[in-house]
Amino acid sequence: MILHAGGSLDYLSSQLLKEEIDVALRTEGGRRLVIDLGGVSFCDSTGYGVLIYALTRVRAVAGSLVLAGLPTTMRERLNLLGLGELFDVRDTAEEAVTPPGGG
């Protein structure tokens, strides 16, 4: 399942993404969750906290999480925080859902 985030990922909007993550994991079985962040223009610590929340929840059901379209500033911040290696990051949501080998 692909969740799309846009605009500011902050204290006010993070709760909405968290709720979407919970719904996706309940309805889709949590096997593979893609969060498309290509439309995010700003992310504060609460937003990064929701990404960690998503990773924790997906791992709890033996699923996988992919962050797609991660803006450069967010990628740099994750690396600065020492969290970059925890996430599978792809350039686009399409790439995130395409099986290896393109097939």
Q: In the block, which residue shows the tokens 């998503």? A: 54
Q: What is the mean pLDDT of residues 47-59?
A: 95
Q: Which amino acid is at 58?
A: V
Two tokens at 47?
């937003």
In whole angstroms, what is the distance from residue 33 CA to residue 86 CA? 15
DSSP codes of every residue in 1-36 = -EEEEEEEESHHHHHHHHHHHHHHHHHHTTSEEEEE
| The pLDDT of residue 29 | 62
In whole angstroms, what is the distance from residue 96 CA to residue 82 CA? 22
In order of their start, the domains of the chain are: 2-102 (3.30.750.24)
How confident is the model over 1-34, as pLDDT tens digits?
899 999 999 999 999 999 999 999 888 665 789 9
